[in-house]
Chain A
Amino acid sequence: MSAPPSGPGPAPQAPGREPVRRGLPRTSRTARQHAPITATGLVVKVVLLGLVAGIAIWAAFPLIEAEHWIGLGVLVATTAGLFYLYLSRRHIPAKYLVPGTLFLIAFQVFPVLHTASTAFTNFGDGHRGSKDDAIVAVQTSSVKQVPGSTEYNLTIATTGDPATGSLTFLLSDPKTQEVFAGDADGLRKLDAADVEVSSLSGKITAADGFTLLNIGQASSRSDAITALIVPTDEGAIRSNGLTRAYEGKAIRAYDAACDCVKDSETGKTWTADEKVGSFVAADGERLAQGWKVDVGLKNFSTVLTDPNISKPFFGTLAWNFAFAIASTGFTFLLGMAIALALHSPRMKGTNFYRVLLILPYAMPSFAMLLIWRDMFNTDFGLLNNLFGLNVDWFGGNWSARIAVVLVQLWLGYPYMFLVATGALQAIPRELTEATSVDGASPWQSFRAVTLPLLLVALSPLLIASFAFNFNNVNAILFTTEGGPFAPDNPTNGATDLLITYTYRLAFGAQGAEFGLAATVSIFIFAIVATVSAISFRRTRKQEEVYS
């Protein structure tokens, strides 16, 4: 994955460089005046707009169901806007720009905004939902069977229509053979003469005045069954599935008056703390089920002040730059050297070599990374066995660093070779021929003519490759996993990139901490954006010199 095709942004076209684009508005302007409505064009338009409407209708139902009116409004406005735009004959430039812009908003802008907003919350395991969710979870998970209470056989019945009538639990006590009917008003005993009880299952199979629901009918009213609680003196009778019921009691209950959870067995209380999104007891104990709250700049101050994060930060940052520069630089040098060699007119069989050289690029990098990891194994690895070495590759700081850069070199050079070949073919041969007429050595002509022209074309790609390698999670996680680690510091390894390091911080502790992870990714975004901005600015200057 060192080659950046899947990374965000490294589109091979350098913006504004193709002559085609400059010509585009002119052709479309003429098209507006003369374009006849062709049958194909009409069909394409109808099909695409039909799809848009289809997707909109399909997306509308869940939004309506969730009563998400803002989302529905956005959906309707977008769809209406698209229809207006493509059914009218005006706004030609917008017709070209809108699809790309929509996708940009959906797949780039929205995730960035979402990440940024997550950074200000404590969103993560134990803090995913709302406070109400947490309260429900606390209460339901504390329901215990009343000690010594009866396990009833349950039949679900109704006095009305099986699909809509209000529900009653028909209960039979397997020990005393007594039968009861229970609903939200309480439990009442039934006359044994009015009901039939199966001797096999102990369940009530018929009762006067009730319509019995079979399991299929009952299961379609699952929510109502779960919600039906028959109050008793000790607690309440709840269904346990569709054929049994038990008398249970919620040990912990939420009290809105004190905004706290009380345990009726121990008398302990946990008061809601809106700052951390947890119920906290006086002794500092927290209930596991918390909720999502805004924590302001807490995550940012954690990143800056927590010694676990800030202490190894600069060392990791330095290696991160070294890794990204080395991965990009070496792959570029090797790729360009091969491209130059194959570009020489004296070279024979270039297509054959090109196919061979492109092979690493054609293989899935995930699998290749795993194979390389195994090849670096001290005792069983191919490298040590082949060369008779006994290097503990992933055990030493520098050998591990060299190993990951080597893997990147192998994975990444075909990409550089490809783009360099393309760029070389665009450089007119007359230029190099002119230098040789002037008596320049091949090296001088390469330095003075070929390389600068290559760099003009390839700089944006190199920057993209740098940005990609800066965050190349796979290259590290699939090989060294950030190791080797110093014996006294298991959180930060010698080959850790910022992104793998923060991955461990955010997901290594008690479950995922998305809030903290989002914060760190904002920091990384800032670093990469700054580096890229500076590089692009310098590239532009270079272009002005050479073009």
Chain B
Amino acid sequence: MRIRTAGVVAVLGLALAASGCGDSGSDKPAADESAKATGGKLVIWADDKRTAALKPFAEEFGKENGVTVEVQAVSKDLQTNFVTASQQGSGPDVVVGAHDWIGNLVQNGAIDPVQLPAEQKSGFDETAIKAVTFNGQLYGVPYATENVALIRNTELAPEAPKTIEDLVATGKKLKAEKKASEILCLQSGQNGDAYHIYPLYTSGGGYLFGTAANGDYDPKDLGVGKPESIAAFQKIAQLGEKGEGALKRSITGENSIATFTGKKCAFLVSGPWAVADAKKAGIAYDISPVPGFAGGKEAQPFVGVQAFYVAAKGKNKALAQEFVTNYVTKPELAVALYKAEPRPPALTAAFDQVKGEDADLAKFSEAGKNGQVLPAIPAMAAIWDPFGKAEAAIIGGADPAKTITAAGKTIQGQIK
């Protein structure tokens, strides 16, 4: 019996120790970070790269205001994880992400509108503000924009092509001279890539959604499957595998940049993220807008915006609003985030500051000037997959009219 009692005492002791461990484990970092912090705690979720850039600024914000700030990296499926976590009440106070999440985040009640005074709003790029506006409300504070452009190897192609036809002619000549093996590196893959083909689609006259009265995209007016979209894809088909051979399904997201840096193609359609690779490979390059079809409409790339959001179910909403509206709007932070990953800052003051050091930035921004804001409405989620597959099928030689009509029907069926 003595042993039994001793055992029970030991078990209870260990139990307390174990549960104590659990508690101190979660409390410790907080206590270390700001021993003097009297106030609340702000939790920010971002992806890996941005977490590193944000950390020093978040810490400074914490020190200035006597609060604890934690920046947590969520490397995969940030949007889904955020929605799920905030539903369970374990989400962050602030989240950093792309603007086309807004539709889904709003329908799940995961983010709150942000109130920015007019003078602060006017400090941002107009397109960026438009991108984070949804249902007439501002839902995030933008910090960077991104869009694709035409990156060309200036050794192989010194002149920027004015039209796609020019580009194909140059590419074909290079191929005939054995200086390159591909005409154009525009990623498609077996299942297509709506994001990268979009400039050509708009140049051919196609559109995705019409515009509603309040300036938002209107999911009821679907452009895919309409005669304009068929005409656009007929032009794209001419560039495909059965036509000029400029668009190919074998060029994928994994190999298109590598093929360009391997000097196997003179033209690459890609975004600011490709520039680092081109520099590393020692390629002499220049950046110009993606050209359109001769006699066609303007080629308009998608413009995406990265933004800070205030979580609707955050534990410290007032502090989150303070951080997002008063701190994120500072040019210094935008410049630091630019240095972590070179995308054009959305804050005009920050953009002007880095423009001088980085000529590529202005060129990308120029290429995106006529761009279209990537639709943030939930209906956009229904576009990507069928649109991309139709694109791939047409590049492979399928009948544009039949294919794109079927894609339009599928998308229509999925939009509620």
Contacts and interface: CB of A to CB of B under 8 A. Distances in A.
Contacts, number: 253
Interface in A368-390: 374, 377-381
Contacts of A286: 416
Given A219-B39, A490-B406, A379 B381 contact: no
A308 interface: yes
A481 B253 CA distance: 14
Interface in B312-334: 312, 315-319, 321-326
B410 interface: yes
Interface string B371-415: 000000011011001100110111010110011011100100111
A242 B326 CA distance: 10
Contact of B249 (A145, A378, A491, A511): A378
Nearest to A370: B254
A128 interface: yes
Interface stretch (B2-10, B51-59, B338-346, B351-359): B2-10
B18 A374 contact: no
A289 B67 CA distance: 33
A487 B255 contact: no
B210 interface: no
A329 to B, nearest CB: 27
A241 B38 contact: no
B15 interface: yes
Contacts of B163: none
Given A490-B407, A510-B378, A242 B107 contact: no
A510 B416 CA distance: 8
Nearest to A129: B87
Nearest to A240: B115
A129 B83 CA distance: 11
B38 A53 contact: no
A42 B321 contact: no
B121 to A, nearest CB: 11
Nearest to B378: A510
Contact of B38 (A216, A248, A485): A216
A273 interface: no
A243 interface: yes
B37 interface: yes
A241 B190 CA distance: 48
B66 interface: yes
Interface residues of B, number: 88
A377 B106 contact: no
A53 B65 contact: no
Which applies to chain B's interface (DSSP): helix, strand, loop or mixed?
A: helix
A33 to B, nearest CB: 19
A219 B317 CA distance: 9
Contacts of A244: 117, 325-326
A87 B106 CA distance: 53
A483 B38 CA distance: 57
A508 B324 CA distance: 32
Given A42-B3, A378-B249, A510-B378, A242 B318 contact: yes
Contact of A222 (B40, B312, B379): B40
Given A141-B106, A241-B318, A379-B250, A54 B21 contact: yes
A395 B406 contact: no
Interface in A94-129: 125-126, 128-129
A502 interface: no
A51 B318 contact: no
B8 A87 contact: yes
B113 A143 contact: yes
A490 B390 contact: yes
B25 to A, nearest CB: 10
A385 to B, nearest CB: 12
A168 to B, nearest CB: 15
Given A128-B108, A243-B326, A57 B15 contact: yes
Contact of A55 (B3, B18, B40, B399): B18
Contact of A137 (B42, B109, B385): B109
A374 B386 contact: no
Contacts of B109: 128-129, 133-134, 136-137, 141, 289
A51 B190 contact: no
A487 B403 contact: yes
Nearest to A214: B66
Among A47, A52, A58, A221, residue most surrounded by chain B Cβ atoms (within 10 Å): A58
B18 A222 contact: no
A143 B310 CA distance: 14
A252 B195 CA distance: 35
A374 B21 contact: no
Contacts of A222: 40, 315-319
B284 interface: no
Nearest to B220: A285
A338 B107 CA distance: 56
Contact of B321 (A55, A83, A241, A485): A241
A392 B241 CA distance: 12
Contacts of B381: 508-511
Given A45-B7, A151-B117, A510-B382, A481 B318 contact: no
* 5 A-B pairs closest in CB distance: A54-B18, A50-B14, A216-B66, A137-B109, A53-B15
21 contacts: A45-B7, A49-B15, A50-B13, A53-B11, A53-B19, A57-B18, A128-B109, A214-B38, A216-B67, A221-B40, A246-B117, A288-B103, A288-B378, A289-B108, A379-B248, A380-B259, A484-B190, A487-B394, A490-B406, A508-B414, A509-B381
Given A215-B66, A240-B325, 10 more contacts: A125-B108, A140-B113, A222-B319, A244-B117, A246-B115, A487-B393, A487-B406, A490-B385, A510-B379, A512-B80
